[in-house]
A and B are shown apart, each in its own frame.
Chain A
Amino acid sequence: QVQLQESGPGLVKPSQTLTLRCTVSGGSISSGDFYWSWIRQPPGKSLEWIGFIYPDGTTVYNPSLKSRAYISVDTSKNQFSLKLNSLTAADTALYYCARNSPQLPDNWFDPWGQGTLVTVSS
């Protein structure tokens, strides 16, 4: 079965750019009609969808991120990545990668990675 694993720095300074990577195993990122998402969860709070990418590079982002997010895919490595710039303390969160169901726009997310905690602090 498909599994996802996030990786990246645990601590980033304000105003810097965060780069996270999600490695997909147990299946090809290019197979099927799946999209691949990033979702975050500030400590003690709810979930926020950041955006998704299709294996051909097509992306859709949450407008709330005000164009700070950029998602890319490397099908040769079975990975997709998130860059988030102009970081502030409000970006401190658990960051998850997840697979979208093919149906858009009211897709669901399954499975999820285990999440990686990112703290924005000087």
Chain B
Amino acid sequence: QSVLTQPPSVSGAPGQRVTISCTGSNSNIGVGYNVHWYQQVPGTAPKLLIYAITNRPSGVPDRFSGSKSGTSASLAITGLQAEDEADYYCQSYDTSLSASVFGGGTKLTVL
């Protein structure tokens, strides 16, 4: 069981908007630690998508956005494209575990 909980799968049609949730607790997201998001296309390494809740690295389209509220964070993808089909992971720091922790991952299917 991951410390950060994500839905196993989400799906959407091209052009639609989808969101992926990342639920933590008062030992990680809830006490103010940042949340980061990664995209992993099957067979490749994870790629940083969003850092420090809302920031996009250079080259990441503005279709991707992040937010946080309380003990949860979310990744939103608008204007869904076939190339967005991948696994998405959230990451934060957990003070009880004294470790960086990842969510269980969410598989995005573009219908």
Task: Quote the shortest CB–CB distance from B95 to chain A (angstroms).
Answer: 8
The answer to whether B45 and A114 touch across the interface, beta carbons within 8 angstroms, is yes
Nearest CB in chain B to that of A44: its residue: B105
Q: Kindly list chain B residues whose C-beta atoms are within 8 Å of the C-beta of A115.
A: 45
* Residues of chain B within 8 A of A46, CB atoms compared: 2, 89, 102-105
Interface string of A18-50 (1 = CB under 8 A from B): 000000000000000000000000000011110
B54–chain A nearest beta-carbon distance, Å: 13
Given known A-B contacts A47-B46, A101-B51, A108-B52, A63 and B99 have beta carbons under 8 A apart: yes
Residue of A64, A106, A113 touching B33 (CB-CB under 8 A): A106
A114 to B45, CA, bound (A): 5
Chain B residue at minimal CB-CB distance from A113: B45
B108 CB to nearest chain A CB (Å) = 15
Chain B residues within CB distance 8 Å of chain A = 2, 33-34, 36, 38, 44-48, 51-52, 57, 89, 91-93, 97-105
Q: Interface on A for B, CB 8 Å cutoff? A: 46-49, 62-64, 96, 101, 103, 105-115
Not counting A109-B46, A112-B46, a sample of 13 additional A-B residue pairs whose C-beta atoms are within 8 angstroms of each other reads A46-B2, A46-B103, A46-B105, A47-B46, A47-B89, A103-B34, A103-B52, A105-B33, A106-B93, A107-B100, A108-B36, A110-B47, A112-B47
